[in-house]
Amino acid sequence: MNAEDILRLSYHDLAEKKVRTALTVVMVVIGVAAIVALISLTEGISATISNELSSLGPTTIILSSTSSSGFTSADTSQISSLPDVNTTIPILDGSVYVLSNNQNVSATLIGISPQGLQQLLSDIRIYQGTLYQDSVAPSALTGYSVAFPTSASGKQSVFVGQPVTVKVLGKNGGSYTIPIIGILQPYGSSIIPVDTGVVMSLPAAETLLGKPSFNIILVKATNTSTVSQLATLLTDIYGSRARVFDTQQIAQTAKQIIGTISTFLILIAGISLVVAAIGIMNIMLIAVYERTHEIGIMKSVGFRDRDILSVFIVQALLIGLIGGAIGIGAGLAGPYALTAAVSASSSAPANSSHAAGGGLGGGGGGDFVFTSSSSSGSSAAPSIQPVFSVETIAVALLVAVLVSLMAGVYPAWRASKLEPIDALRQL
């Protein structure tokens, strides 16, 4: 029997049992889609973190306060006097609501000097207006997602030259009218949440937040070879008062964590493929039982054992190929649907725990976060773009085919070993 006949017979049986075939294929689809989606998401998270850290530069050390007192100008002076320190950038942040044109948008108030903002972003891209001055006057830039919030369907609600009401959250909360002198272009995800931020000078932010201090200091070392030594020195100086991170350390830790999570998630996805394999074997054993008489007739007219074996093996192969192809399609679309859902949910107003903390320093918490341009809240989820690779897709399809073939081997072997006379008795 030639390959065309084998393929035709295999497909004919699958087509006759449409519902059963569809349910079997769905089991493969779930496993393959889970593998593709989870790998692409973890790769996307890794790429996002790497991009953010590279934007800060390999010589950057992040000093995050763990006490409510924060840092003062004396700290920046002390750090600046240390060996191998090129520059220091003090930052203060807090959680606020921005009220403008009937829109109530959750945001992060960011206090940073214009020079510090330039060093942080490398390129200050202003959509409208101009940059603020380094003075106590509370004029501000807003991030693109604050000016064009998702709650307003992306329509502009903050305009240059028009004041907005900024409601500060927390124990030092209050409402202030702030003139908006500029709107930043979208930057995407960032260590500093400029897209979802209201950015002003450090003295102005200290006045509004009621804090004569700041909670983050970015330290730029003179070169990459001195980063580790300088980070150790800062840890010795501040002890439990601050957490010290350098970008290389963060990248390495993030890579290890993401690798562990990725392995765990792939194992979970693998379980669904094991379940699929059991389902395929069960369905094909039922098919062998149902077609026992037919197999007897086929053998009596000259079909060889290997012909019968080939028919059932090809059936398993078709299930794996069809399920794998559909699963890859679902796996490619799934991460985008998931990130869109996360972005939509993160555009909701900040909860009480976020109000008590802050975007970067969290007051006394000292934890910085990655934020997203896709939301209007300072507690936004990361703006993650899934990363797909040909290798991942090929491996997922190969796994689907192999699992299906392995599941089909025993039923196919059992079918091929049926004796014609015994099979023909089962009418």
Mind listing the pLDDT tens digit for each residue in 108-136?
Answer: 999 999 998 988 887 889 999 999 988 88
How far apart, in whole angstroms, are the C-alpha atoms of residue 33 and residue 234? 46
How far apart, in whole angstroms, are the C-alpha atoms of residue 231 and residue 221? 9
Instruction: Tell me the CA distances in angstroms from 46 to 13, 137, 196, one per residue in order.
Output: 45, 40, 22
Q: Taking the chain, what is the end-to-end CA distance rounded to the nearest angstrom?
A: 25
In contact, 388 and 338? CB cutoff 8 Å: no
In contact, 90 and 205? CB cutoff 8 Å: no
Neighbours of 150 (CB within 10 A): 17
> What pLDDT is attached to residue 3?
77
> Where exactly are the structural domains of the chain?
3-53+253-425
Main-chain phi, psi angles of 226, to 5 degrees: -100, 0
* Tokens coding 192: 């500093």
* Tokens coding 190: 């960032």
In contact, 189 and 121? CB cutoff 8 Å: no
> What pLDDT is attached to residue 167?
93
* All residues at 6 or more sequence positions from 195 whose CB lies less than 8 Å from its CB, including other chains: 143, 144, 145, 146, 184, 186, 187, 188, 371, 372, 373
> What pLDDT is attached to residue 226?
87
How far apart, in whole angstroms, are the C-alpha atoms of residue 287 and residue 14? 10
Tell which residue, 70, 147, 64, has the closest CA to residue 101. Answer: 147
* Tokens coding 183: 């709107």
> What pLDDT is attached to residue 129?
94
Looking at the DSSP bridge assignments, the partners of residue 92 are 111
How far apart, in whole angstroms, are the C-alpha atoms of residue 40 and residue 384? 10
Residue with tokens 């039982």: 289
* Tokens coding 354: 């976020």
Q: How do residues 360-388 score in pLDDT, each as one tens digit?
A: 444 443 344 433 333 333 334 445 678 88
- Interstrand relation of 216-221 and 85-100 (parallel, antiparallel or unpaired): antiparallel
How far apart, in whole angstroms, are the C-alpha atoms of residue 382 and residue 141? 22
Looking at the DSSP bridge assignments, the partners of residue 168 are 96, 174
> What pLDDT is attached to residue 131?
93
> What pLDDT is attached to residue 403?
87
Tell me which residues of the chain have a pLDDT lower than 70. 1, 52-56, 189-191, 293, 339-384, 420-427
How far apart, in whole angstroms, are the C-alpha atoms of residue 322 and residue 329? 11
Tell which residue, 27, 126, 47, 157, has the closest CA to residue 389. Answer: 47
Residue with tokens 């209201």: 198
Q: How do residues 199-228 score in pLDDT, each as one tens digit?
A: 999 999 998 988 888 889 989 888 888 888
How far apart, in whole angstroms, are the C-alpha atoms of residue 185 and residue 312? 59
